[in-house]
């Protein structure tokens, strides 16, 4: 896929989301966010979060624009004192295991494009609209692995994108009855080979301990080494 084709595809997605938001501004006064960096064809990693962070102060006045193709994913530029907590907690995990560059060249979106305090507050038709577009983006970009920011996102991806395909159990790390890291391998060529889910790192949720983050990093390194063919 050429850069022009990627740009046209991403812009068409943004136009559709913006059009729906224009119709429902009163319901979503804090706006929307679709992409967190440039689009890339066949990236190693594709991140899927729950919903955009921030409130009305984060809402833009106009339509979202795609980031330049030579820029890094937004997390890399959002880890300073003015950055947001999720980026500040995600980057160190990838840096510690030697995969910060993979994160920098990843693509990110969310299951819900519209800013809201709780994803469950979205009307069903809007939630379905967002999820259908996420699946469409993944199928078009053909990433090597899906990195789900939240085990609920992992369950959603497993039940939709992978519903008709067999997944081989790979790794799981649980503590206190909660899944902290889970991953599964898919042998279907048309789908991302690796599906990963971690407990949400945002302070809005129950924050994982430093031990949890270390374990998440250990499992993540094993999985990424596997799909990239790196020796262990």
Q: The tokens 């693509």 sit on which residue?
A: 107
Cβ-proximal residues to 227 (8 Å cutoff; 6+ apart), any chain: 44, 144, 145, 193, 194
**Contact in structure between 153 and 140 (CB atoms under 8 Å):** no
Give pLDDT, residue 204. 65
pTM for the whole structure: 0.93
**Euclidean distance between CA atoms 43 and 142, whole angstroms:** 7
Q: What is the pLDDT of residues 45-61, one digit of tens each?
A: 999 999 887 766 667 77
**Euclidean distance between CA atoms 57 and 200, whole angstroms:** 23
Q: Take residue 230 and report the two structure tokens written for it.
A: 């790196």
Domain residue ranges in the chain:
3-228
Tell me the helices (H) and strands (E) count for the chain, helix number first: 6, 6
Cβ-proximal residues to 213 (8 Å cutoff; 6+ apart), any chain: 89, 92, 93, 201
Fold of 3-228: Uracil-DNA Glycosylase, subunit E (3.40.470)
Q: What is the pLDDT of residues 164-209, one digit of tens each?
A: 888 888 889 998 889 999 999 999 999 999 999 999 887 666 778 8
Rg (CA), the chain: 17
């Amino acid at each position: 896929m050429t850069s022009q084709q990627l740009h046209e595809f991403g812009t068409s997605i943004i136009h559709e989301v913006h059009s729906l938001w224009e119709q429902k501004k009163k319901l979503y006064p804090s706006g929307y966010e679709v992409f967190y960096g440039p689009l890339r064809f066949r990236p190693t990693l594709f991140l899927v979060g729950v919903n955009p962070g921030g409130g009305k102060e984060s809402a833009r006045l106009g339509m979202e624009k795609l980031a330049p193709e030579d820029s890094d994913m937004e997390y890399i530029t959002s880890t300073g004192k003015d950055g947001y907590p999720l980026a500040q907690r995600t980057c160190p995990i990838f840096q510690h295991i030697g995969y910060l560059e993979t994160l920098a060249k990843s693509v990110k979106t969310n299951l819900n494009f519209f800013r809201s305090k709780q994803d469950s507050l979205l009307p069903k038709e809007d939630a379905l609209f967002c999820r259908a577009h996420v699946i469409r983006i993944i199928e078009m970009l053909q990433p090597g692995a899906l990195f789900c920011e939240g085990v609920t996102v992992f369950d959603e991806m497993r039940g939709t994108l992978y519903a008709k395909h067999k997944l081989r159990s790979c790794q799981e790390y649980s503590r206190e009855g909660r899944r902290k890291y889970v991953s599964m391998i898919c042998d279907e060529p048309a789908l991302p080979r690796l599906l990963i889910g971690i407990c949400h790192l945002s302070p809005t949720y129950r924050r994982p301990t430093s031990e949890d983050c270390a374990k998440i990093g250990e499992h993540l390194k094993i999985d990424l080494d596997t799909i990239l063919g790196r020796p262990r």
